[in-house]
A and B are shown apart, each in its own frame.
Chain A
Amino acid sequence: MKCKKVQDLIKTNYLDGELKEGLYLEIENHLKICPVCQKLKEELLQNRELLKNIEHKDVPEYLWENIYERLNYLESQRIISLGLWNKLIRRKKIAFAILTTALLFIWGGFIFRSVNDKVMQELFKNYLLNGKEVIDNLDTNFEKYFL
């Protein structure tokens, strides 16, 4: 096995113990006769030791207190919203009435809008054909009321 391939494996699978036994032995044999690859292995192992010395810090006590406060707030909000929903579910008649009224309003709005649109379209069409007459027909003529 060539040095390049061995070094590639030393930096990864060999160092991490993720190598098949056959390959592992092959690398071990290479390391016995190659000082360059052997040196690389030693340097990598030294770095690994260095990384193991990373300080593991304790979590500050007050962190849980902050989290606890936020969790309590979250829970209280959940209880409030659940409470409202449960009340509505219990009072089926009220819920049904609110829903029906809302639907009626929406439906009424649509009807009103479509009728209104039709009237306006008709007026505008007439105005384009005979502008003055339409204005007379609007019943807003000043003279009609005062003369």
Chain B
Amino acid sequence: MGRIIDISQETLKKAVTDIEAFREIYKKTAGFVYNLALQIIHNQEDAEEITQDVFMKVYRNLKNFHFRSSFSTWLYRIAINTTINRYRKRIKEYKLNIEYKDGISSDSFENKLGEELGKLDSKIIVDKLLKLLDEEQRICLILREIEGLSYGEIAKILKIPLNTVRTRLKRARENFLKYAKKELIKNEV
């Protein structure tokens, strides 16, 4: 599945109480968690905090992991949920901040967030385009295109039907195409 190398049961069992064994898991999976958070939230500090929170959650709950699903699926789920929660919190804060500052209606705040974040750290067009997609579409697209997961794997991680995965991907690609064309026109002008 995706970029994560699956961890052996022995290491997982050992890591419940052994921090050094846990470090092995961290080494193999931290890159994925960090980059996934970065691609969704587009902020380095947040991505760092998310990575720390994810691994603390994994450590605390490792004893309850009964191998019913693969470790990768479990980790993907924790990483995505933690990132989504942080992302929504940030949007809420941003919304409040904007409304407080100049009373601008919240309808355009997604676009504003994109612009704002773009100014901060995005130098690559693709980052900018991803930001413009809505949260659900962006996550599906990242899991499919960047992590290389199948429809079945995405459905399992996000706990949604296969058809929903398909619909979200379709819309994500349509929007990505639309925004890419706009971006191209803007750059040409």
Contacts and interface: CB of A to CB of B under 8 A. Distances in A.
Interface of A: 8, 11-13, 15-16, 18, 43-44, 47-48, 50-60, 63-64, 66-68, 70-72, 74-75
B126 A13 contact: no
B46 to A, nearest CB: 13
11 contacts: A13-B166, A15-B173, A16-B144, A50-B180, A54-B39, A57-B35, A59-B51, A60-B48, A63-B52, A67-B55, A71-B56
B145 A68 contact: no
A74 B169 contact: no
Contacts of B150: 16, 18
Interface size class of B (residues with CB under 8 A): 35 or more
B104 interface: no
Contacts, number: 80
A12 to B, nearest CB: 5
B31 A11 contact: no
Interface string B30-68: 110011001100000000100110011001100000000
B124 interface: yes
Interface stretch (B5-13, B19-27, B78-86, B88-96): B19-27
A48 B169 contact: no
B23 A63 contact: no
A58 B177 CA distance: 29
Contacts of A13: 166
Given A44-B177, A57-B38, A16 B169 contact: yes
A100 B34 CA distance: 52
Interface of B: 19, 22-23, 26, 30-31, 34-35, 38-39, 48, 51-52, 55-56, 59-60, 124-127, 129, 141, 144-146, 150-151, 166, 169-170, 173-174, 176-177, 180
A55 B169 contact: no
A46 to B, nearest CB: 8
Contact of B34 (A53, A59, A68, A74): A59
Q: Which 9 A-B pairs have the closest CB atoms?
A: A51-B145, A59-B34, A59-B30, A11-B170, A11-B173, A12-B166, A12-B170, A50-B126, A67-B55
Contact of A52 (B38, B48, B145): B145
Nearest to A55: B124
A70 B51 CA distance: 13
B146 A51 contact: yes
Contacts of A53: 124, 126
A70 B52 contact: yes
Nearest to A48: B145
A68 to B, nearest CB: 7
Contact of A18 (B26, B126, B151): B151
A50 B127 CA distance: 10
Q: Which one of A50, A51, A55 has the highest number of Cβ atoms from chain B below 10 Å of its Cβ?
A: A51
Contacts of B19: 68, 71-72, 75
A59 B55 CA distance: 13
Contacts of B55: 67
